[in-house]
Structure 1
Amino acid sequence: MSMLDVVGPVMVGPSSSHTLGALKIARFAYKLFGEKPEKVEYYLHGSFAKTYLGHGTDRALIAGILGLREYDYEIKNAYNLAKKQNLKYSFIESDLGDVHPNTVLIRMFKDKKINEIQGASVGGGAIKITKINGVDCDLSGDYNTLIIVNKDIKGALENILKIIHVNVANLYLKRTNIIEGKSLTILELDEKPINLNELEKLECVIKYFYVGSDKDEI
């Protein structure tokens, strides 16, 4: 048993599930997007939809998309921060299907750039990222994560793994567009690759996103 199990996570409350977990999901989305979006849509499911105002889920989701950490006291001023930074946002109660009750789908926009993730707060501040741009996955957010849009051609994964050259903890693959010949490759990594820019030289790689683990920033 760790000290975290005894005293709980360091956070601005009130709830590890509805506040901390929500912020971590939104922060993952922020890091995936690579910058602050101009507009965000939050689709709230189940318990999140019913209690998000009372538990501060709304503030946590805004704070996370602005890049704040769970111990930042500015979380309570999230609405003011969003106004100052011209962030447009909306909260939409939605039925996301047979998913965890504390689930949110976050859709981010800037110019023509659109990304979305779906995640659940599963208790004690732990999260599960269950979809990235419509592709099913099961990410904890505890690993460095590399998301690659690549051509669906023979040898693509082999060439990608040769470039990143670090241990892969988990791997998810899916063909996303058979007509255009595109796939999405999601890798959870034990450490950050030192040569990510080399991916741009691969003929099979269309674009990629890197989400570093918050543990590496402590």
Structure 2
Amino acid sequence: MKYRTVFDIIGPVMIGPSSSHTAGAARIGQVARTLFAEEPAKADVHFYGSFAKTYRGHGTDVAVIGGLLGYETNDERIRDAFSQAKNAGLTVQLHEEEALTNHPNTVRIQLRNRGKELELVGISIGGGKIEIIELNRFALRLSGNNPAILVVHQDRYGVIAAVSNLLAKHELNIGHMEVSRKEKGEEALMVMEVDQNVEESLLKELRSLPHITQVSKIHD
């Protein structure tokens, strides 16, 4: 893995003690909150590997909850995240999992509110950097370091081309793109990391395309 600056190694400004166990965990929580697109009422947080063994001592639990509340990695309120969640009406349940995963710093987050659900799996890879490797049972690879567009669509001919053409029309350059589907011809997920922030007008146009069922964005 290549690092661009010394801050990629030591991690971002954050509430300690660990960039991978604290800052990375907070960022995974932030991404889950962003994709849920509203305040969750209930969160189940499943820790695996090293996270499951050390989350209390390293503050991984409060970091994830702080991220779910929308706090930045250096927000002092993270230290009091359990009380902050209670005040916000967010019920949190933590789970220590024994199942083996491909990465030791793995967390699965399930969010719910009024029938709406989201499930996300993220890993903290060091220096505050993360990868989202699963979203609602779709496999993907999303760094969270760049603006991204996520498009849920029916697996039909021409959908990917239509989305790509629309991004080209808005002069957005795609740095990384992948498509995951559950079954041929069924629901699919398109993920595109781009070089510029994404305007709401573009999202509105994407939602109007045939066979598109959901569009969301993540900003760096």
The alignment's TM-score, normalised by the length of structure 2, stands at: 0.90
Aligned positions of 1:16-55 closer than 5 A: 16-55=19-58
Structure 1 residue 164, shift from structure 2 partner:
2.5
Unaligned runs of 5+ in 2: none
Structure 1 residue 6, shift from structure 2 partner:
7.3
Query: In the alignment, what sits opposite 1:216?
Result: none
Report how many aligned residue pairs link the two structures: 212
Structure 1 contact 164–196 (Cα < 8 Å) conserved: no
State which drifts further: 102-111 or 165-174. Answer: 165-174
Query: In the alignment, what sits opposite 1:189?
Result: 194
Distance 2:90 2:102 in 1: 28
2:116 to 110, 113, 116: 113
Structure 1 contact 45–93 (Cα < 8 Å) conserved: yes
1:90 to 90, 93, 113: 93
Give the AA of the match of 2:178.
Y
1:136 to 139, 142, 145: 139
Structure 1 residue 100, shift from structure 2 partner:
0.7
Deviations 1:40-76 (A, max 9, x none): 1111001101111111111001100000001111111
SS at structure 1 position matched to 2:150: strand
Q: Runs of 4 or more off by more than 4 Å in structure 1?
A: 5-8
Structure 2 contact 166–206 (Cα < 8 Å) conserved: yes
Distance 1:136 1:152 in 2: 15
Distance 2:119 2:154 in 1: 20
Distance 1:55 1:193 in 2: 35
State which drifts further: 93-102 or 146-155. Answer: 93-102
SS at structure 2 position matched to 1:47: helix
Structure 1 contact 120–127 (Cα < 8 Å) conserved: yes
CA 1:43/1:6 → structure 2, altered by over 3 Å: closer, same or farther? closer
Q: What RMSD, in angstroms, separates the aligned Cα atoms of the two structures?
A: 1.7
Report the identity percentage: 36
Structure 2 contact 9–127 (Cα < 8 Å) conserved: no
CA 1:178/1:5 → structure 2, altered by over 3 Å: closer, same or farther? closer
Query: In the alignment, what sits opposite 2:63?
Result: 60
